[in-house]
């Protein structure tokens, strides 16, 4: 029921399925149970030492504001990073440092829509897109992808059915959170074609760009910036790439000067991203390529353990993730949220249990994802093996107790 003491917009913001079960985890910990967190993309991979050295050697006596646009050293490092990827046209004027990828997404929404407008995206999708949409007074319109297809994109006609006069943008995440899907070049080109045909913005969330497996190639929206310079927007983050989740450094990029200038005015209103965070992140240019090779190989090994382990559990359906560090798995249960609660409130194996995310919160369409979970393989291989053992046993017990 609407309360006159708060806004309808506030009440419309959904709880995060990634974090909504935290209170149950806290209760489990109070009982002496160890909880392994596979619900959230917070990796245990070590942050590059060259960044940690900034903290160890910090000698400034005052922590001041930074610039709203971003710390110059960080902007220069980001420019070099994108140039080294092959996009030599990217300059610092095309970049804005944000408070994590989250703020970049919210700024992109503000840049492309008015209150009441719509943005198309694919479900399942990163759940916080819904939160940012609610805050900005807009609607996420889902285009469904299917587990049996590895959550790859449907044909263009399926998108066109959802396009209306209120549609202002298409948003996609590649590699994808929560599915681990990596969209091929043909799929990205289809989205570019739709943006052209219907004069829509195209917002690409490329936070997991470096994490692509099995010889696949990542197709970046940056490749199409010159083709649709006024419509393409990149949302990026350093959180996952460098294990800097707590540093809260993201990026918004566009060749459209009005988009960047408008986002900068928002940034001026919140003053700046953190000074220490930015100076630490500015060391990204000194991170050796060997760091990413090791990290990618580690995530691939974790992916393989999780995938093979899930396949070994009777009744579980899962497609092999192609990138990022997530997968969506179908479980032999009717209500995955209830099962996720059960793991924390009524089950443990040798004093340990796991926290995973019910997948229904990654869908906009009612009743989809009811038997699915998202698992983030962000903990080491030993803990992943524990996860498989716990899930196998818990599903047996749950069926006896609940079904």
> Which of these, 322, 350, 383, 336, lies nearest to 43 by C-alpha position?
383
Pair 39, 72 in one domain: no
CATH value at residue 220:
3.40.640.10
Core vs surface per residue 217-226: b (16+ CB within 10 A) or e: ebbbbbbbbe
Beta-carbon neighbour count of residue 27 at 10 Å? 13
Q: How far apart, in whole angstroms, are the C-alpha atoms of residue 131 and residue 128?
A: 5
Pair 58, 187 in one domain: yes
Q: What is the pLDDT of residue 9?
A: 77
Q: What is the pLDDT of residue 1?
A: 52
CATH value at residue 376:
3.90.1150.10
Pair 213, 345 in one domain: no
Pair 321, 257 in one domain: no
Q: Do the beta carbons of residue 267 and residue 65 sit within 8 Å?
A: no
Q: What is the DSSP letter of 80?
A: H
Residue 2 lies in a domain: no
> Which of these, 85, 103, 52, lies nearest to 250 by C-alpha position?
103
Considering all CA atoms of the chain, what is the largest pairwise distance in Å, rounded to the nearest integer? 61
Q: Do the beta carbons of residue 172 and residue 191 sit within 8 Å?
A: yes
Pair 300, 263 in one domain: no
Q: Which two tokens stand for residue 86?
A: 């092959």
Pair 303, 352 in one domain: yes
> Which of these, 69, 59, 138, 134, lies nearest to 98 by C-alpha position?
69
> Which of these, 48, 368, 94, lies nearest to 238 by C-alpha position?
48
Pair 213, 265 in one domain: yes
Pair 151, 103 in one domain: yes
Which of 286, 312, 333 is the endpoint of a domain?
286
Residue 1 lies in a domain: no
Helix ranges (DSSP H) in 34-155: 49-56, 72-84, 100-112, 128-136
Q: How far apart, in whole angstroms, are the C-alpha atoms of residue 76 and residue 181?
A: 31
Core vs surface per residue 287-317: b (16+ CB within 10 A) or e: beeebeeebeebbbebbbbbbebbeebeebe
Q: Do the beta carbons of residue 169 and residue 112 sit within 8 Å?
A: yes
Q: How far apart, in whole angstroms, are the C-alpha atoms of residue 78 and residue 69?
A: 13
Pair 32, 73 in one domain: no
Residue 267 lies in a domain: yes
Pair 63, 16 in one domain: no
Helices 22-30 and 336-345 pack at an angle, to 10 degrees, of: 20
User: How many domains does the chain divide into?
Assistant: 2
Q: How far apart, in whole angstroms, are the C-alpha atoms of residue 198 and residue 167?
A: 9
Which of 239, 268, 286 is the endpoint of a domain?
286
Instruction: Look at the alpha carbons of 299, 301, 302, 304 in this order and tell me if their dihedral is positive or negative.
Output: positive
Pair 130, 220 in one domain: yes
Per-residue pLDDT of the chain (403 residues; tens, 9 = 90+): 556 778 877 887 777 766 779 999 999 999 999 999 999 999 999 999 999 999 999 999 999 999 999 999 999 999 999 999 999 999 999 999 999 999 999 999 999 999 999 999 999 999 999 999 999 999 999 999 999 999 999 999 999 999 999 999 999 999 999 999 999 999 999 999 999 999 999 999 999 999 999 999 999 999 999 999 999 999 999 999 999 999 999 999 999 999 999 999 999 999 999 999 999 999 999 999 999 999 999 999 999 999 999 999 999 999 999 999 999 999 999 999 999 999 999 999 999 999 999 999 999 999 999 999 999 999 999 999 999 999 999 999 999 987 6
Pair 31, 63 in one domain: no
Q: How far apart, in whole angstroms, are the C-alpha atoms of residue 40 and residue 36?
A: 11
3-state secondary structure at position 139: strand
Domain hosting residue 367, numbered range = 8-46+290-402
Which of 286, 318, 347 is the endpoint of a domain?
286
């Amino acid at each position: 029921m609407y309360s006159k003491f708060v806004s309808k917009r506030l009440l419309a913001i959904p709880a995060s399925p990634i974090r909504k079960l935290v209170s149950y985890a806290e209760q489990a910990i109070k009982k002496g149970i160890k909880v392994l967190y596979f619900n959230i993309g917070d990796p245990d991979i070590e942050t590059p030492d060259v960044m940690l050295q900034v903290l160890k050697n910090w000698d400034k006596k005052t922590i001041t504001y930074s610039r709203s646009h971003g710390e110059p050293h960080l902007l220069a490092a980001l420019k070099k990073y994108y140039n080294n990827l092959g996009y030599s046209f990217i300059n610092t004027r095309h970049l804005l440092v944000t408070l994590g990828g989250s703020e970049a997404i919210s700024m992109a929404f503000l840049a492309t829509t008015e209150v009441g407008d719509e943005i198309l995206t694919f479900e399942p999708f990163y759940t916080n897109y819904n939160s940012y949409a609610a805050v900005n007074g807009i609607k996420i319109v889902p285009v469904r992808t299917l587990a049996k297809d590895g959550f790859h994109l449907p044909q263009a006609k399926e998108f066109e059915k959802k396009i209306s006069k209120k549609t202002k943008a298409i948003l996609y995440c590649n590699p994808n959170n929560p599915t681990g899907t990596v969209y091929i070049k043909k799929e990205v080109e289809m989205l570019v074609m739709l943006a052209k045909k219907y004069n829509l913005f195209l917002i690409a969330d490329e936070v997991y760009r470096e994490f692509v497996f099995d010889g696949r190639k990542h197709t970046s929206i940056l490749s199409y910036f010159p083709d649709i310079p006024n419509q393409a927007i990149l949302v990026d983050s350093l959180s996952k790439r460098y294990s800097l989740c707590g540093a809260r450094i993201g990026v918004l990029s566009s060749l459209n000067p009005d988009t960047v200038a408008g986002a900068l005015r928002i940034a001026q209103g919140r003053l700046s991203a953190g000074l220490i965070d930015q100076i630490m992140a500015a060391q990204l240019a000194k991170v050796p390529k060997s760091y990413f090779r090791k990290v990618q190989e580690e995530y691939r090994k974790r992916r393989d353990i999780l995938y093979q382990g899930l396949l070994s559990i009777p009744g579980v359906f899962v497609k092999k993730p192609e990138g990022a560090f997530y997968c969506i798995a179908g479980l032999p249960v009717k209500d995955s949220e209830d099962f996720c609660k059960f793991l924390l409130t009524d089950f443990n194996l040798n004093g340990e249990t796991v926290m995973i995310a019910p997948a229904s919160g990654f869908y906009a369409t009612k009743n989809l994802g009811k038997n699915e979970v998202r698992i983030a393989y962000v903990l080491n291989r030993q803990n992943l093996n524990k996860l498989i053992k716990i899930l196998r046993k818990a599903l047996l017990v749950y069926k006896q107790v609940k079904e």
